[in-house]
Structure 1
Amino acid sequence: MKHIIVSIIILTAVISCKQSPNKNSEVKIQNSTSISETKTLPSNDSAVSAEPVIAPDKKTETVKTETQPQNFSIEPIVKDYLALKNALVADNDKGAANAGKKLLSTLKNVDVKSIPSSKQKEYQEIADNIKENAEHIGDNAGKIDHQREHLASLSKDVSDLIALFGSSQKLYQDHCPMYNDGKGAVWISETKDIKNPYYGNQMLNCGSVKKEF
């Protein structure tokens, strides 16, 4: 009986020893499987995180950006105005008429598309007034008083034009308090010295500087 019990114990021990390696191998297989699964996760995560990096829309936004024209200058207009003004300072009605025609031609040759779009409408309004006054001055040689009347209006327009666009040249806005029955009038000058175009040699130094551009 004792021998039978001992044999059963030994047999049980042998069977358990044989089964235990299989359990360990199963654990190892499960662990290796879980490890391999965890190793594949970073590649999936990186693939997901890499998707938002592509942003094709930004390139189209850059291409559509508009640039305003920068090649417009009022310097030719100012130059012709100063020639007209100086002719009247010298009591030269014919010189003023020629300068008026030159100014009108310069204005007609302006390419409005070269002006920044935000300023085109205001420029057009000022330019239309300048054209009208320049035409009157150009058509009235021999009538210097009439030319000077239009110079008063023309000078206001040129002053507005300079205020709108600026000038690379140093300019002055002068004022004559006596012209137009004491109502006064302004003109634009390239020098600080007062040389009155409304009275010429009659009262050459009548007036004062009111503004600098």
Structure 2
Amino acid sequence: MKRTILCVSLLALSLTACKNETKSDKETTSEEKSEQVEKENTENLPLAFQSESQYEIARLYLDLKTKFVEEDAYGARKIAEIMLKKFSDEEMKSIAQKIIHQENNIENQRKAFFQLSEMLEPTFAKNISGGKLYKQYCPMALDGKGAFWFSAEEKIMNPYFGDKMLHCGEVQETLK
């Protein structure tokens, strides 16, 4: 009998404690959960940027990276020609021209690609509005000096070595 009374009392006490939770506590918890879900949903969206031109530049950059992975100097040149028309910044135009004029030397094109990666990093970091970009790094690139690049996939596909060392590198950062 004492056990029954004790159990009923504990049950009543626990129900009372649950009802004492304030409405604002529930709202805060809901808001926090909503923000977390919204952030997760943004990360799972397709790649997007604040403006259409930023998105176009990012897509061209990713296509250029793929051409270097495939060791396709001519394809890299063609993409750089399109980039040249899209860029408004003179320094970026100059880098695109280096890629165009070095079609016969993919290693020089890759050096220009690294310069382009450095130039675009702030744009990518500040203006991504959906999806993810992975900043990846290879310590052996550019004669052992190391170099990074951006990828839409987490899997390492090294644009600085192509088939020679396709998976050499690591993810340094995820931009979301």
Pairwise same-fold verdict (TM > 0.5): yes
- TM-score scaled by structure 2? 0.67
Matched, 1:101 2:63: no
Query: Could you tell me which residue of structure 1 aligns to residue 111 of structure 2?
Result: 149
Match of 1:160 in 2: 122
Q: What displacement does 1:80 show?
A: 0.8
Secondary structure of the 2:149 match is strand
Instruction: Determine the C-alpha separation between the residues in 2 that align with 1:157 and 1:167.
Output: 19
RMSD: 1.6
- Residues 102, 108 of structure 2: 8 Å contact kept: yes
Confirm whether residue 207 of structure 1 aligns to residue 169 of structure 2: yes
Bigger RCO of structures 1 and 2 (CA < 8 A, at least 6 apart): 2
- The one-letter amino acid paired with 1:95 is G
| Mapped partners of 1:167, 1:129: distance in 2 | 25
Q: How many residues align?
A: 126
Moved over 3 A (4+): 70-73
Residue 201 of structure 1 aligns to a residue in which SS?
helix
Partner of 1:89: 69
Mapped to 2, the partners of 1:105 and 1:161 lie a distance apart of 18
Shift of 1:170: 1.5
Identify unmatched segments of 5+ residues in structure 1: 1-69, 109-126
Structure of higher CA gyration radius: 1
The AA in structure 1 aligned to 2:130 is S
Q: Give unpaired runs (5+ residues) of structure 2.
A: 1-49
Report SS of the residue matched to 2:143.
Answer: coil
Higher strand proportion (structure 1 or 2): 2
Structure 1 residue 167, shift from structure 2 partner: 4.1
Change (3 A) 1:157 1:207: same
Query: For each residue in 1:125-156, what CA deviation from the matched residue of structure 2 results, as whole angstroms up to 9, or x when unmatched?
Result: xx333221111102221210110111111111
Cα deviation, residue 161, structure 1: 1.2
